[in-house]
Structure 1
C-alpha cells in the first residue's frame, strides 16, 4: 500500500494527470462491498486535502458502514460526455477510519472546516492501484496507464 504522495514521487506526471481527472468533477463514484460481498456504488464528493485523497461524509452512510466492515474500495473520478472525453481516473486500495481527535482536527484545519463542524466520518486512503484511461494524441485509441506501488506503470493501448 502507498499514499498518493508516494505515487507522486514515483510517477509525478501520471499522478498529476490522475489528480486533474479527480479535480475536474465534484461528484465521484465510490465502490464498496456489502455484507454479502456484492458491490455497492455510492456517490461521494472526494477532495484532496494536504495532497492526499480522503473520504469524508455523513456518519451512518452505508458506504462507511461497508468500509468499516471491509476497507477495500475503488473510486472513479467521473467522466465527461464522450464528445468532451480526454481522460478519467480510478484509485483503489483500503480506507481506514480516522477516529483520533488530533488527526481529525488537522484534517479539518487543512480542509478549511470550522472547528465546530466535526460531525463527519473520515477515512484515510491507502492505494494499491491508480489508473488513468486517456485518449492518445490522435484521439484514435485509449491508453490505459496502471500504477501499483513497487511495480511502476504498465500501459495498454486499446483501439
Structure 2
C-alpha cells in the first residue's frame, strides 16, 4: 500500500500541485478495466481525507463493479480550459474499497457532501505524473514510490 501520504512526505511540492489540480474541478476522468478486459472511461469525484485520496461513484455502477474485481486504475485530472497552463495529472493506482461499516466512512461521506448508496475507494499510488508546458517545452515530472521525482523536458 502506498497512500497519498507517501507522495506528500517524499515530494511535497509535487503533491501540492497535483492536489491543486484535482481540487480545481469537481469531476475528473477514471479509467478502469471491465470484466471482458475492455477499458472503461468514466467521470469520477476525487477527494482528500487526512493522509488519503479517494475516488467515488454510485454503488453498483460499472466503474465500481470494475474496481471491485480489478483494483487497477488510472486517474486523469480534468483538462480544464485547454490552456495547459495548470498541467495535466495522471495517477496510476490500485484501489481499496472503504467498507460500509468503516468507522470513518460517515465522516468522509459528510465531508464530500454525499449520502448512501455511494462507493468510496482509497487510492494506493503506483505512479504520479504532472505534465506542464513551460517556456515552449513540455515538462513531465514523474514520481514513483521509492525512486523520487524524475523530470523530463521536451521541446515543443
Query: Shared fold (TM-score greater than 0.5)?
Result: yes
Matches within 5 A, 1:59-74: 59-74=59-74
Structure 1 residue ranges without an equivalent (≥5): none
Give yes or no for contact 1:108–1:118 (8 Å, CA) kept in 2.
Answer: no
Measured in 1, the distance between the counterparts of 2:149 and 2:140 equals 10
Measured in 2, the distance between the counterparts of 1:71 and 1:91 equals 13
Cα deviation digits, residues 66-94 of structure 1 (max 9, x gap): 10110000001111233363312111110
CA RMSD of aligned residues (A): 2.0
Counterpart for residue 98 of structure 2: 98
Structure 2 SS opposite 1:21: helix
Counterpart for residue 16 of structure 1: 16
Measured in 1, the distance between the counterparts of 2:84 and 2:33 equals 31
Structure 2 residue ranges without an equivalent (≥5): none
Counterpart for residue 149 of structure 1: 145
Q: TM-score, normalised by structure 1?
A: 0.87
Give yes or no for contact 2:94–2:125 (8 Å, CA) kept in 1.
Answer: yes
